[in-house]
Amino acid sequence: MRSGPWGPRLERDARATGGVLASAPAGGTYACERCGAVLAYEPGAQTLVCRYCGQENRVVAPERAVVENDLDPVLRRLPPEPAVPPPIPHKCGQCAFEFVLPSGRHSGLCPACGSPAVADPATVRAVPPDGVLPFLVAEPDGRRLVKQWLASLWFAPSRLAEEARTAGRLEGLYVPHWTFDAASRSYFRGRRGDVYYETTWVERVVDGRRVRQPVRVPKIRWTPVEGRLARDFDDVLVVAGEELPSWLVARLEPWDLAGLKPYAADYLAGFASELYKRSVAEAHQEAKARMRAAIEEDARAAIGGDQQIIERLDITLSNETYKLVLLPVWLARFRFLGRDYRVLVNGRTGEVHGERPWSLVKILGTVLLAVVLVVALLALSRLGSGLDF
């Protein structure tokens, strides 16, 4: 097993190509054998649980590891795909109601009976999911974390605290991500800048007299530097969906990708799951930009000194692999003064980040209070300096 800056790296392994391996067929029935109620995946367990009688069915997942796929073949052979995947028609395995899943998703709930509906994503997307990171944080805990986050915001409108106390049900959503691995070998050439000081004399007026005083002037000594670097990248994550802002989803990192399971439809039972909209080729370009930024930092560290100039940086990537994984997010939506806000919870670690409104009244009040305190301190200082002890 190798390791990179993004964590442990699985060795590549031969795998069969084809459709998604799932523990339940498309249109499968998620019904309790004991009472007939709806089954749903239980966060933190390997079971589908009946919320009424407590009956548990164990998730049947493929007996294989989540492995990496060679990147070059998919970049050369993958046919063009529409940016927005078409809606997937689905027939409920519980009540036989025929409906269409929301656009851009391949799992959700039957609108007629509320049973989990999980469709095969390979029917509309060329690359099937390789793995899924199941939820660990349960919905009540996610709701509690959202309330705590909202209540802790500085300079938030007072009404937002009321919103936090009345926060309703969250939506559990699996967000697709591409992960990329690569071995990099790089050559750099640049200049190292070391700061040193020289003393010079300047004339100044002190107490009405012109005097000469020494002043230390900083200067930089530049030295040419070149060298070679090696770095292995593992699981560089790029958000593949567009339903949520990628910058907001990225704040939920890091993810414990060591807990990835082979994709199985049962993990999605009771949750929504987004189809990827960003192609593997587009995501690969972003991953390469992030790799280059990391290598530039390595080059600067290797050049050393107080300042660095990189004049040339040649990067060669090899053993490039990828996989498509689904990562769990609890989503809370709020509407405040005509604007929608979203708060996300990492479904594994409980990390919370979101969009938030600001209270102009509180900000202005704080600024005015600070001004009053500064004026008061200045007045006291002047008053104190005029006293004769």
**pLDDT surpasses 70 at 22:** no
Residue type, 209: R
Closest CA to 8 of 229, 134, 181: 181
List the Cα angle 33/36/40 in 5-degree steps: 80
Please answer whether residues 176 and 275 qualify as being in contact, where contact means their C-beta atoms are separated by less than 8 angstroms.
yes
Sign of CA dihedral 377, 380, 385, 389: negative
31 and 63 housed in the same domain? yes
Domain encompassing residue 20: 2-181+234-290+319-358
Kindly report, residue by residue over 49-58, the tens digit of the pLDDT.
Answer: 877 777 777 7
Sign of CA dihedral 163, 134, 321, 300: positive
Residue 60: alpha-carbon gap to chain centroid:
28
CA–CA dist 23, 18 (Å, integer): 16
211 and 285 housed in the same domain? no
Which stretches of the chain are DSSP H helices?
Answer: 71-77, 139-151, 158-165, 246-250, 280-303, 360-385
Banded model confidence at residue 242, pLDDT cuts 50, 70, 90: very high
Strand partners of residue 215: 200
330 and 366 housed in the same domain? no
**pLDDT surpasses 90 at 185:** yes
Least confident interval from 85-94, 193-202, 369-378, 379-388: 379-388
Residue 301 lies in a domain: no
246 and 266 housed in the same domain? yes
pTM of the full structure: 0.81
Q: What percent of the chain has pLDDT over 90?
A: 50
Of the CA atoms within 13 Å of residue 106, those in its CB half-sphere come to 28
Q: Which residue would you say has higher pLDDT here, 321 or 94? A: 321
258 and 377 housed in the same domain? no
Q: What are phi and psi of 36, to 5 degrees?
A: 85, 0
131 and 209 housed in the same domain? no
Does 8 sit behind a cis peptide bond, omega within 30 degrees of 0 on the bond before it?
Answer: no
Of the CA atoms within 13 Å of residue 219, those in its CB half-sphere come to 8
